[in-house]
Amino acid sequence: MRFPNIPGFDQQAFEKYFKNTGMLFVGRVGSLAIKMIVTIILARYLGRQFNGILAGGTVYIYFFSAIATLGLDQFIVKELHQFPDNRDQILGTSFWMKVFAGFCCIPLIYLAYVIYPANKTPYSYVFIFSFIGIIQAFTVIDAYFQSQVQSKYIMQVQIAGNLVSAAVKLLLIFNKMPLIWFVYAYTFDFMLISIGYYFTYQRKQRSVFNWSFNFKLSKKLLHYSWPLIISGIMVALYMKIDQIMLQNMYSVKEAGAYATVANLSEAWNFIPAVIVTSLFPAILNAKRDDAARYKKRIQHLYDLMVYISLPVAVIITFTAPLIYKLFTPEYAYAAPTLAVHIWSGVFVFLGAASSQYLIAENFNKLTFIRTGFGAIVNIVLNLILIPHMGMMGAAIATLVAYACATFFIVFIPKVNDQAVMMFKSLFLISLVQKIIKR
């Protein structure tokens, strides 16, 4: 596979991992297409009111997903990359850590709901969602296949799981089932993926029953991952706090319409996750072997993030009114909000890439500092803008918060060169330099 339209692209670095990235991408695109179709049909069926109630319940899961996952996934990949012979202990330790964290999240979610309950969303819905934290422990298998550059297995599980999930939801809609059934269906989605991972891993002389727990390793993993746990909480806050604030400060119907905006806008966020996850081993190899190549790969990664996210933002901006023709007329007024919200994706893409650099350099604490700053900016702007502008205010707050979080590192001397590199990519300076050099 060649990249002739991207001047100066590091061919040697990226070709090695392109097939794996392609498999992940195909899996996520397939899943995205299925999810988007079902999301639109479900939103049409539920209407703004019930769509807002359902979305409000899922927000609490996002708030605590970082605790449930313990920020381990990237470190599992890193450990497996460095110590492949220690596979069963790494996976077993990570799995039981996630199970324990998932159980701990249940009372924490209840406490969060008591402190700040979502308007008209009953706790019974939130309680059912709470078990997702335990169910998702099998995602350690996802990390294993990433470390082996075998993402075709992840693709198979995701597409199969989403097809079954879509069939279940469509069946519920056809039979005009009440909202509670969709709460169970949402939780069932995660169970399907976990079951798929389990059976996929059991092939080729692998077995989860060979996994073992090592307390010393768990301490090591937690030592490295705790900044990412806090960072993940902050990310969840500035990605999802607008949903619940809009629901409580404005109306459930407004939150229901905004949920469609967030779903459509954030649906593309799987792309940077796929790319950086798949290319992380290449970045680690360059760091170990060649400092100049390492820096070059990081710059090319930033460039790639912009080359993808910028066209998506432009296209969605101009096609938002057409997209909302797929919904019922009560959602149509959300189109301008989508045209604003989609631009936050540019900063999500760049932020995902720079996070890989911070992990590679063991600057993990900076991840939660900058995301914490983004969360504060988002909450403050939401408090100011939502009462006057509704969901448009929430979208503006999200866009500004993402930009602030991504470029916060410009104020940190030891990593501000990364901010400069991202600016070069964002304003296409790097692309122009490559063209001139050619």
Tell me if 306 is assigned to some domain: yes
| Contact present, 194 and 138 (Cβ < 8 Å) | yes
Spatial neighbors of 216 by CB under 8 A, at least 6 apart, are: none
The least confident of 167-176, 182-191, 284-293, 386-395 is 284-293
Residue 429: name the closest of 303, 314, 321 by CA: 303
Sign of CA dihedral 124, 130, 238, 253: negative
Tell me if 214 is assigned to some domain: yes
Position 371 scores a pLDDT of: 83
Tell me if 6 is assigned to some domain: no
Give the pLDDT mean for 342-350: 93
Tell me if 5 is assigned to some domain: no
Give the pLDDT mean for 123-150: 85
Residue 26's pLDDT band (cuts 50, 70, 90): low
Position 322 scores a pLDDT of: 93
Is the model's pLDDT at 333 over the cut of 50?
A: yes
Paired tokens of 209:
């029953």
The least confident of 12-16, 106-110, 284-288, 423-427 is 12-16
d(CA 147, CA 81): 6
Strands of 186-340, DSSP E: none
Residue 44 structural domain: 11-437
| Contact present, 87 and 208 (Cβ < 8 Å) | no
Give the pLDDT mean for 26-30: 66
Is the model's pLDDT at 13 over the cut of 60?
A: no
Most confident of 11-20, 201-210, 248-257, 263-272: 248-257
Tell me if 358 is assigned to some domain: yes
Paired tokens of 6:
């991207």
Give the pLDDT mean for 75-94: 82
Position 298 scores a pLDDT of: 86
Position 3 scores a pLDDT of: 42
Work out the percent of the chain whose per-residue pLDDT is above 70. 91
Work out the percent of the chain whose per-residue pLDDT is above 90. 36
Please tell me the total number of residues recorded for the chain in this structure: 438
Specify the pTM: 0.80
Residue 52's pLDDT band (cuts 50, 70, 90): very high
Give the pLDDT mean for 239-248: 88
| Contact present, 362 and 74 (Cβ < 8 Å) | no
Residue 68 corresponds to which amino acid?
A: A
Position 365 scores a pLDDT of: 75
Place of tokens 């073992």: 212
Position 2 scores a pLDDT of: 45
Is the model's pLDDT at 232 over the cut of 50?
A: yes
Tell me if 186 is assigned to some domain: yes
| Contact present, 438 and 10 (Cβ < 8 Å) | no
Share the mean pLDDT of the chain: 84
Tell me if 2 is assigned to some domain: no
Position 288 scores a pLDDT of: 73
- What are the distances in angstroms from CA 55 to CA 1, 12, 140, 312, 403? 41, 44, 26, 25, 25
Spatial neighbors of 219 by CB under 8 A, at least 6 apart, are: none
Give the pLDDT mean for 3-32: 55
**Burial tier of 437 (Cβ tally within 10 Å: 0-12, 13-18, 19+):** exposed
Is the model's pLDDT at 39 over the cut of 80?
A: yes
Position 296 scores a pLDDT of: 83
Is the model's pLDDT at 437 over the cut of 80?
A: no
**CA atoms within 13 A of residue 171's CA, in its CB half-sphere:** 8
Tell me if 193 is assigned to some domain: yes
Is the model's pLDDT at 4 over the cut of 50?
A: no
Q: Where are the alpha helices (DSSP H) in 202-214?
A: none
Number of domains comprising the chain: 1
Position 150 scores a pLDDT of: 66
Interior/surface letters 187-225, b for 16+ CB within 10 angstroms, e for the rest: bbbbbbbbbbbeebbeeeebebeebeebeebbeebbebb
d(CA 142, CA 246): 34
